[in-house]
């Protein structure tokens, strides 16, 4: 087994006791994490109507592109061939299918731009794993970055709530008034980040310091509760419990079957409630809102359009927000036409890159990481890191039943890709603590 990612690198000292290599790695890793979690546009004023443009978010594009360039320059001098180990047949197949979805897209230029941006994010996710010198270094930088973000979020809530808490004056969703969002642009994004922070806190408690880890978990969970992000609040314990069971199950097929059955069950009870009356009746009996805050309308709208182009879809990331959808035949009568996504990652994939593409991406980002988890040698030094990566992948798989988490722009995708790549590295490498 080769030594790859998160391995002890040779150090170079400047003067006495100064490790230049470690300082550079620490600075780059911390900068990447802080920039990703700040979303490049922290504390947005949501009372200002968003600018509708097909060109995308210029700030995000520039920010992620600069991150890619800096990391690429660093990796070029630090054995970039290690990244080739992430290039697997399934990933190549996924990328080829995405290119096909661009060619067949009803908005080829839009799909091409968004695929290029996704490739940048993919590159960042792979390269960032080469920055930590070892697991202890990784845990220390993660702890510092998360504590900084949490501190900024709490400071924003208590000193500038108009920019850190949803307000009645919000242009898009004034009904969310009172929900905490911190530096993030939406309470659901904040909720997902807090779940990841809680997972990181558990990792830090095991690898670095139990008090620091406990503080991270406590601060993150309190903030999560005040976001009122139902999806994150529900799926957090699911991902946590399933990960613990998977780590203790002796037979890989049993653990994988359990994890996938939870994902299937969530989709059956969400999207299935639109089409199966027994499920709908059951939900009506146990939930106060069986429409999942209006998502049922979006799911029906998505499925209807998906069935019109089931093989190739409408094109990579080229459906929601296009004039054909917003000003379509229904004349804007359905709020689903103005939705930003399908509120279901699996449906979104099927809608935009076709059902075969959705299957390929699900295999790559959901199933394969679980397989890699069981392929790992489960070294003591890597156990906590394996669980961290597994929990991020499980959380993404489960939230995708209610949100469009898979292959979306932003920090969520970077973390998901990095977790999937991390499990790949750990399945074929030796690491140092």
Element (H, E) at 246: helix 230-248
Report how far residue 183's alpha carbon sits from residue 154's, in angstroms, rounded to the nearest whole number: 9
Report how far residue 318's alpha carbon sits from residue 94's, in angstroms, rounded to the nearest whole number: 17
Report how far residue 418's alpha carbon sits from residue 86's, in angstroms, rounded to the nearest whole number: 11
Which residues touch 295 (CB under 8 Å, ≥6 apart)? 270, 343, 344, 402
- Specify the pLDDT at position 393: 96
Locus of tokens 């920019």:
163
The DSSP symbol for 264 reads: H
For the residues of 416-431, what is the DSSP string, one character each?
Answer: HHHHHHHHHHHHHEE-
Report how far residue 152's alpha carbon sits from residue 42's, in angstroms, rounded to the nearest whole number: 10
Report CA torsion sign: 374, 376, 379, 384. Answer: negative
Q: Tens digit of pLDDT for each residue in 83-125?
A: 998 999 999 999 999 999 999 999 999 999 999 999 999 999 9
Q: Tens digit of pLDDT for each residue in 310-334?
A: 999 999 999 888 888 877 665 555 6
Report how far residue 82's alpha carbon sits from residue 73's, in angstroms, rounded to the nearest whole number: 15
The DSSP symbol for 13 reads: B
pTM (two decimals): 0.92
Q: Taking the CA of residue 81 as centre, how many other CA atoms within 13 Å lie in the half-sphere pointing to its CB?
A: 3
- Specify the pLDDT at position 6: 56
């Amino acid at each position: 087994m080769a030594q790859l990612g998160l391995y002890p690198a040779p150090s170079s000292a400047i003067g006495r006791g100064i490790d230049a290599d470690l300082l550079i790695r620490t600075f780059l890793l911390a900068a990447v994490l802080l920039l990703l979690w700040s979303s490049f546009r922290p504390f947005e004023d949501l009372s200002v109507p968003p600018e509708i443009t097909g060109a995308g978010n210029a700030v995000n594009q520039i920010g992620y592109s600069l991150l890619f360039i800096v990391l690429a320059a660093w990796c070029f001098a630090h054995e970039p061939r290690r990244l080739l180990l992430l290039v697997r047949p399934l990933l190549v197949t996924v990328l080829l299918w995405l290119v096909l979805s661009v060619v067949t897209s009803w908005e080829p230029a839009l799909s091409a731009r968004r695929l290029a941006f996704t490739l940048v994010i993919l590159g960042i996710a792979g390269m960032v794993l080469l920055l930590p010198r070892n697991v202890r270094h990784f845990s220390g930088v993660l702890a510092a970055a998360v504590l900084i973000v949490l501190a900024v979020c709490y400071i924003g809530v208590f000193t500038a709530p108009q920019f850190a808490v949803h307000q009645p004056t919000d242009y898009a969703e004034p009904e969310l008034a009172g929900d905490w969002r911190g530096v993030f642009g939406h309470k659901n994004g904040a909720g997902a980040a807090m779940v990841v922070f809680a997972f990181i806190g558990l990792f830090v408690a095991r690898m670095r310091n139990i008090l620091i880890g406990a503080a991270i978990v406590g601060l993150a969970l309190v903030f999560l509760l005040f976001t009122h992000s139902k999806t994150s609040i529900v799926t957090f314990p699911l991902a946590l419990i399933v990960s613990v069971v998977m780590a203790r199950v002796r037979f890989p097929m049993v653990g994988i079957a359990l994890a996938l059955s939870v994902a299937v069950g969530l989709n059956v009870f969400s999207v299935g409630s639109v089409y199966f009356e027994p499920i709908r009746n059951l939900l009506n009996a146990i939930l106060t809102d069986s429409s999942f805050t209006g998502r049922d309308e979006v799911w029906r709208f998505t499925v209807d359009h998906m069935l019109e182009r089931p093989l190739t879809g409408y094109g990579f990331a080229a459906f929601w927000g296009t004039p054909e959808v917003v000003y379509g035949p229904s004349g804007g009568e359905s709020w689903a036409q103005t939705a930003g996504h399908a509120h279901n990652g699996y449906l979104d994939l099927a809608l935009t890159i076709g059902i075969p593409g959705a299957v390929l991406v699900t295999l790559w980002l959901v199933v394969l990481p679980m397989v890699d988890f069981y392929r790992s040698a489960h070294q003591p030094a890597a156990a906590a890191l394996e669980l961290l990566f597994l929990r991020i992948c499980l959380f993404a798989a489960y939230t995708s039943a209610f949100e469009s988490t898979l292959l979306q722009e932003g920090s969520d995708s970077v973390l998901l890709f990095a977790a999937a790549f991390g499990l790949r590295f750990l399945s074929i490498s030796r690491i140092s603590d």
